[in-house]
A and B are shown apart, each in its own frame.
Chain A
């Protein structure tokens, strides 16, 4: 099946710094990728839809200036958490659907655990 990778898997940063998380589709091209956030023992909440070559679409309540998304190529989307604060500590997960997949099954990356101290 299709493979989506994320890097890094874990990151610890100090409050006020920025962190970049990469999401790659390894064996397919993805014009659209999705970024989710998962708090401990909670479900996945969609943060934004990343579109190759255009601006991301953010969900209500997600600060676009804080969570910068860049989808510069058909296999890479990045999420940058700017001026991170402890409340941004969470598990960030990306997903994508291979083109031509009729049932639109999404393939998920392994996630990135961000801890802001």
Chain B
């Protein structure tokens, strides 16, 4: 069965600090990988996704993620966080083919302080 592991439960950073959130997955086949963000009181929004091709994926709001197949990882990064990045971040995995549900990690809460 698929599983997704997010290493950090709660991360607290000062503004302008760099961010890296870890995500590892367990799945035997080829996968699609996603990072979603959930701002307080709002619904899930897609930050970025990896489908195929360049393993370094750029998303919205300055976020990027790198797919490292050998490590089964898809870590999220941002060089300089802002207060407005305070949110819950979820890594998710879906099979490469087929309209099937995503498997989510437990999420990482990011708190950015001034």
Give me the interface of A with B, judged by CB distance under 8 Å: 31-32, 34, 36, 41-46, 49, 93, 95, 97, 102-106, 108-111
Q: Is the CB of A105 within 8 A of B49?
A: yes
10 nearest CB pairs, A to B: A103-B51, A110-B43, A108-B44, A43-B106, A34-B101, A44-B104, A43-B104, A46-B101, A32-B99, A43-B107
User: In whole angstroms, how far apart are the Cα atoms of A110 and B39 in the complex?
Assistant: 11
User: In the complex where A93-B44, A104-B32, A105-B34 touch, is A43 in contact with B102 (Cβ < 8 A)?
Assistant: no
The interface residues of chain B lying within 8 Å CB-to-CB of A31 are: 99
User: In whole angstroms, how far apart are the Cα atoms of A104 and B103 in the complex?
Assistant: 13
User: In the complex where A32-B99, A34-B101, A46-B101 touch, is A105 in contact with B107 (Cβ < 8 A)?
Assistant: no
Contact of B102 among A41, A106, A109, A111 (CB under 8 A): A106
User: In whole angstroms, how far apart are the Cα atoms of A81 and B90 in the complex?
Assistant: 26
User: In whole angstroms, how far apart are the Cα atoms of A31 and B104 in the complex?
Assistant: 22
Q: Which residues in window 65-111 of B have CB below 8 A to A?
A: 90, 94-95, 97-107, 109
B34, B104, B105, B106 — most chain A CB neighbours (10 Å) = B104
User: In whole angstroms, how far apart are the Cα atoms of A109 and B34 in the complex?
Assistant: 17
User: In the complex where A93-B44, A104-B99 touch, is A43 in contact with B105 (Cβ < 8 A)?
Assistant: yes
- The answer, yes or no, to whether B11 is at the interface (CB within 8 Å) is no
- Nearest Cβ distance between residue A85 and chain B, in whole angstroms? 25
- Nearest Cβ distance between residue B75 and chain A, in whole angstroms? 18
- The answer, yes or no, to whether B46 is at the interface (CB within 8 Å) is yes
Q: Is the CB of A42 within 8 A of B32?
A: no
The interface residues of chain B lying within 8 Å CB-to-CB of A111 are: 43
User: In whole angstroms, how far apart are the Cα atoms of A108 and B101 in the complex?
Assistant: 12
